[in-house]
A and B are shown apart, each in its own frame.
Chain A
């Protein structure tokens, strides 16, 4: 019986117990919104799921020393509704309120979203533009790295077998203006554009290519939307041809700039 292939369930009570169990065949499991689908399709066949939901301390959102820390068990809905995220990272809260559908948001975690490295991830594009970082635990200790470096390709991250993403850190930057716009007709966007502006401009174009792509320019007036649309790597698929997607990039970049200029 069953639509899911056979596996065994491990329920660690601490991060150290979890990383002692994790390996190439034993995968971290929280919301399951990506993992269980991949297992159902036969794309992943772990021997064990290491269920993180019994680990205390990974389910909180906290603010300290100029950053917001989001635990690995925090779902999109919990983060979007959290008063700290609403007050300190309102742009990110807006992104999280529109990820996937309400069921995906209620069960899927931000950490799982990043670890799956789906090319059309809203969260990855937004967190790269906001200079977010991930904290990674392993039996050897802990390390931190930029989300930009963590996402190395489609469905591929810097996470080694046996490592666990435990927390996401997002700097609080009241001086930065942020906007995210996307074109979406199904569960995943055809295009997402994140724009962060202060002393310089960071543009992240997500969903149209194999990974979110970042472009830096000195100022908003120096941002040539046609040039970004021409340079961005685009993969044609069911959501559109290369020509159509480049057109989308240009149109949505203009819309993002318009929203920033109108102070929306």
Chain B
């Protein structure tokens, strides 16, 4: 039988290189949660619609629920766990706290990773740009206004950083 059913991969997860042997059918979300205990990666729709499983791969946002772990070989993967520096929250995390931009918190890691990608690419977005960019992420608690407020506030804090 030709083709591999298991592959060896060496992704860099939150700045740490890891070596793993993974079945080719394993998704990136399964690998992050079940092999690496990165439970900030959530799973819900598993159809690329809700955004709770969002992580960055080489800086690009992906739905880790339907992205093969095999494809992460040699790539840099960023999850919510990699944002804070020790006890110091990332400005996006702090802004979400300050604006009460979460209730149950299930969607929060996905929103923050999407927002991180937006601000990496566009440090001074308009409110409309934030709304449009985040329309692929669903929140069922708060309504979206405080989330958008938090992202705009974090953008200001990041621009003010030296």
A residues apposed to B, CB below 8 Å: 1-11, 21, 32-33, 36-37, 40, 48-49, 51, 53, 77, 100-104, 106-107, 186-187
Contacts and interface: CB of A to CB of B under 8 A. Distances in A.
Q: Can you list the 3 inter-chain pairs with the closest CB atoms, starting with the nearest? A: A101-B136, A8-B3, A9-B24
Contacts of B11: none
A8 B25 CA distance: 8
B62 A106 contact: yes
A7 B47 contact: no
Interface of B: 1-5, 7, 23-27, 30, 34, 46-49, 51, 54, 60-63, 65-68, 70-71, 114, 117-118, 133, 135-137
B27 A107 contact: no
Given A9-B3, A103-B48, A53 B135 contact: no
Contacts of B135: 101
Contact of B3 (A10, A33, A53, A107): A10
A3 B46 contact: yes
B25 A186 contact: no
Contacts, number: 96
A6 B117 contact: no
Nearest to B47: A37
Given A33-B48, A40-B46, A103 B54 contact: yes
Nearest to A7: B25
Contact of A106 (B2, B7, B61): B61
Contacts of B2: 8, 10, 21, 48
Given A2-B23, A9-B7, A10-B2, 10 more contacts: A1-B30, A3-B30, A6-B5, A6-B25, A9-B4, A36-B68, A48-B2, A101-B135, A102-B61, A107-B60
A40 B133 CA distance: 26
Given A2-B26, A101-B135, A36 B66 contact: yes
18 contacts: A1-B23, A8-B3, A9-B68, A9-B70, A10-B3, A10-B4, A32-B67, A32-B68, A36-B67, A36-B68, A37-B47, A48-B3, A101-B49, A103-B48, A103-B63, A104-B48, A104-B136, A107-B60
